A = this chain, B = another copy of it.
Amino acid sequence: MKENERKYRSGCPVAYTLEALGDRWSLLLVRDLALKGVKTYGELLDGWEGISTNILAQRLKHLEDHGIVSKSRDPENWRSYIYELTDKGRDLAPVLAELILWGGKYDRSDDRITETVDKVTRDRERFEREIRAGDVKKPLSSPSADE
């Protein structure tokens, strides 16, 4: 099946972007791949708000098809796969930064949010550089402590 590529010939770059990322999960996956040390299917499965297995597989495939995520064997654990952002995926760093800043500006409901936003605000250059370098461990936002 062809995903949802129907319309969107549009001539608008926003439409193109939303075709690739305009659903409730894709950007959250990109966030986790970019900002947390997360790399495997299993790590992506828990981690946070609870995506189900079929949706995760489907979204990963979708992101792969769009050249945003790459999939390879884990050299240290052959039975596992590694999902990573491609260059194209890492180029989403500024988008992530803006999403964080906007969300942070209007949702101060949680101390962790304040903290994350402050970090991006204070050193946005570094934030984007780290994502692009792809060598982030856990630079920002560690939602590990979920209830």
Is the CB–CB distance between A143 and B110 below 8 Å?
A: no
Contacts of A106 in B (CB 8 A): 16, 67, 88, 91
A23 contacts B by Cβ under 8 Å: yes
6 closest pairs, A vs B, by CB? A13-B103, A17-B103, A11-B112, A13-B104, A16-B103, A16-B107
A44 contacts B by Cβ under 8 Å: no
A117 contacts B by Cβ under 8 Å: yes
A136 contacts B by Cβ under 8 Å: no
A92 contacts B by Cβ under 8 Å: yes
Given A22-B23, A23-B24, residue A13 in contact with residue B50 (CB < 8 A)? no
